[in-house]
Amino acid sequence: MILALAGGAGIVLPRAFAQAPAAPAQPVATAPAAPSALPPGPGRDTMLRVCSGCHDPAIAAQQRLSHDGWVELVNTMASRGAQATDEQLDEVTNYLATAFPDTPAKP
């Protein structure tokens, strides 16, 4: 058995108790959702360009909102610094409302 002195106090402990502190945990990076999660359509490229300035645009694939819901969300993003013209924001809103409606398309 390997022994170590605990802090010079004359106490003998098994080496298992005398280990150096562990290194701080590194954050675990998660892979962003692939842009392929975003269906093709008018406004997709604009959405990718505008939204990627702040977050992974594919996060939209996880949401289902009405057109009015997308208008509200896109306006919120614009107020938080999304860089786009009004025309581009309308294009993004229409893309999102079509690609990710609150009610899935019927087969």
* Position 7 confidence tier, pLDDT thresholds 50, 70, 90: low
Q: Please write the tens of the pLDDT for every residue from 73-97.
A: 999 999 999 999 999 999 999 999 9
Please give the Cα distance from 4 to 47 (Å, whole number).
Answer: 61
For 24-81, give the DSSP string. Answer: PPPPPPPPPPPGGGSPP-TTHHHHHHHHTTTS-GGGGGG--B-HHHHHHHHHHHHHTT
Kindly give the pairing relationship between strand 12-14 and strand 3-5.
antiparallel
* Position 34 confidence tier, pLDDT thresholds 50, 70, 90: low
* Position 43 confidence tier, pLDDT thresholds 50, 70, 90: very high
Residue type, 99: A
